Structures are given as structure tokens and as C-alpha cells.
Structure 1
Amino acid sequence: MEIPTLDKRRFLNWLVSHEFFAKREIPWILNYLANHEPILKHVHFVEKARRTPRGITICSRHFYGEPIALFIEGEMFKDSDQIFHEIRLNWQDPLYLEIQFDNAWNNELYLGVLEDNPYYRWNDNMDDKTLARIKHYFREENIQAEITELYQLIDLALENDDQATFMELSEKVNQLIAQKQKEVNNHS
């Protein structure tokens, strides 16, 4: 899904007006991107930009690390002028931009432009324990959803005075509750 350039521009304008950066050139570069739609079309906001063929990381003053760094095929460049010229000269190439600032995950403008990094997908790098916990969580949620649905059907059977359906559904609910309890005990 392509992110509209208007959304990217709004975020960049917000960023420049609300965040402080250790290098004065950073707002200039961000404004340049915001005001050049042909370049902005090729900008992708991601995490782990250093893992991309052509990525820039920018940190607000509150973050530790290089204030701005360009990564081209794993090689790092820190000079703001060099970074600006790379953006200008290769404007038709995809540019992956990582912005680190306070409360990023609570910022709707940022979340609206954030894309999955095609070179570093977060879910490809999870440890086995975390994956097992996620799978367990979804199994429990599926069982709970089935139980909730069966309770609604049981209520309907009671309203219709359908004892056979009531007994059948009650047995299914009891099996699912036992299965859920077994899942909880196995995961503990």
C-alpha cells in the first residue's frame, strides 16, 4: 500500500515544528523532502533503515547515537552535505527513513506513514519463545471466541425450548472450557 505524499508531508512538517535535533541541517533536509513531492514519493518511513540498500536514520536530541546517518549498502556516511547531495542526485531511488523521537508509537501522524521494512521484517526476527507465546495467545482467543458464540446459541436454544440442542451445545462448551484449561496448564 502506497502512503499518500500529503500524509508524509504532514508528518515531516509536524516533526520539524515539534522536535529538536542536534544538527541544524536536519530540519533543512526534512523540509527539503517535505517540499519536493517527486522525491517524497520515493521516501518510505521504516524501522531499521540501516538494513536497507539506501537508508537514513535521524534521531531527535533526546536519543543517543548519530543525529543523522546515511547507509548505502551497509556503508555509513555522517556528513550532512553528503547526505543532502545523495538525496538530491538519486531522487528517483527508494529512500528508507527512520526517525527516532520521543513517544513515536503514540503519534498518529508517524504511525500513519510508518511502513513495514521489506529488508528487515520484525516478525522474521522473533525468538522461538515469543512466537510460542503469540501462538498460545491466539489459540486461547480462538477458543474463547468459540465459547462466546456457543453461549449465544445456548441462549437461543433455551428461548426456543430446544432441549436437545441445548444439551449438545452445552457439551461442546464444556469440552472447549476443558481444552482451554489444559492450554493454560500446559503453558504455565
Structure 2
Amino acid sequence: MNETITVTAKKEFIKWFLSHYELQKREATWLLQYLMSDDRLLSKVHFTDSIRHLPKAVLMSTKCVKLTPFKYCKNKRVILDVEKAFHDIRLRPDEDVYISLHFRDRELSPEYAAVLEANPMEKQNVLQDTLLGLLAELVLDELIYQYKKEWIQRQIDHALDNKDQGKFFELTEELKSLKRANES
């Protein structure tokens, strides 16, 4: 996926798309044509596969797929009216707009792949999930260490109570080994 797509590339893609596919909502076609007509606005448009967690996103589907015809999401609010979405986009031209187009064989389309960008919020979520996973691992490792240490200490006490010198030395070596492993 490309990270910086030119306005010209986006225009060419929209022209290609509109000549090959028919959107379920005619007004959605008009919205794409409007975006294509304004370079400043088109520079804020990003095509993406996923609109999850994005502050301002549009989902459009063609007649050849059975998905939601049109959905505009802004700050977790969903609007199904193309006209309201158009007015919001027109009135706020400096805000990024992420568009996910659903059409037959989109995964195989080199034209779509050429303008496709990653969802920046999903990158953040993946990083956040990775960090949380590492933190959880650290906490679990510490809990396991504490449990093993306490279990060995109880066994050492039991060996002392039973005056089992062999078991005592074996367990103290095991405890030392556990502590060394935890320090590294």
C-alpha cells in the first residue's frame, strides 16, 4: 500500500472507477465527482480498505456487491444520507476523509491498489495491542516467578521440619537457579 498518493492519481482512479462501476446510490457518484473536481479537497481524500476507528470516513458500494450502499461515519456517528455527508465534507475541506469502496474483485484491482492507503488508526491499535500484550506477558511472568518462589520456599520449610538435609540442599539450589533466571 502506498502512503503518499498524488491528487492526479486519485483523479485518474475515480475516473476509471466511475467508468467501470455503478454505485448503489446515484448521489454517491455525484459526491465522488465533486471530490474529483476540487484538488485541495482531493488532497485530503484517502482510499482505504477499512474505515474502523477513523474520525471521518465514507463507505460506498457498487450495484455488483450486496453491502451497505452508503455510510458516512464522523466521530462515531453514522449517517446514511449522502447529501448530509456531502455538506459536511464541503463545509470542512481541511479535514481528512477516508473512503472505502466496495466493488466486485476489488482485491484484484491494480487501479485500486495504486491509490490504497493504510488505515492510520489500525496501525495505532496494532501497536497498542502489541504493547498491551507485552505488558501482560511481563505481569504473567512475574506472577509465575512469585508462585514458584513461594512454592519452593514452602518445600524448603517442609524439608527443614523433616530434617531432610538432601532435599533442603536440592531445593535451595533450585531457588538460587530460579532467582538467577529471573534476574537475567
Above 0.5 in TM-score?
Answer: yes
Instruction: Give the corresponding residue for 1:60.
Output: 62
Match of 2:135 in 1: none
| CA pair 122-63 structure 1, distance change in 2 beyond 3 A | farther
- Residues 20 and 61 in structure 1, CA contact (< 8 A), matched pair in contact too: yes
3-state SS of paired residue (2:14): helix
| Structure-2 separation of matches of 1:14 and 1:87 | 22
- Structure 2 counterpart SS, 1:28: helix
How big is the alpha-carbon RMSD for the aligned residues of Structure 1 and Structure 2? 1.9
- Would the alpha carbon gap of residues 122 and 102 (structure 1) be closer, same or farther in structure 2, given more than 3 Å must change? farther
Q: Scaled by the length of structure 1, what TM-score is found?
A: 0.62
How far 1:50 moved relative to its partner? 4.0
Cα 1:31/1:66, change in 2 over 3 Å: same
Query: Matched residues, percent identical?
Result: 28
Structure 1 CA distance, aligned partners of 2:35 and 2:52?
Answer: 19
Q: Paired residue for 2:23?
A: 21
Q: Which amino acid aligns with 2:28?
A: I
The answer for unaligned runs of 5 or more in structure 1 is 126-188
Shift of 1:105: 1.8
Residue equivalent to 2:113: 111
Residues 32-65 of structure 1 deviation map (CA, whole Å, 9 limit, x = unaligned): 1111110000001112214200000011112223
Q: Aligned equivalents of 1:112 and 1:28: distance in 2? A: 22
Q: Does the 8 Å CA contact 1:21/1:61 hold for their aligned counterparts?
A: yes
The match for 1:6 is 8
2:85 is aligned to 83
**1: distance between equivalents of 2:125 and 2:92?**
30
TM-score, structure 2 as length reference: 0.64
Q: Which has the larger radius of gyration?
A: 2
Measured after TM superposition, the shift of residue 123 of structure 1 is 9.4
1:96-116, CA deviations, whole angstroms, 9 ceiling, x for partnerless residues? 111111111221111011011
Give the match's secondary structure for 1:49: coil
The answer for unaligned runs of 5 or more in structure 2 is: 128-184
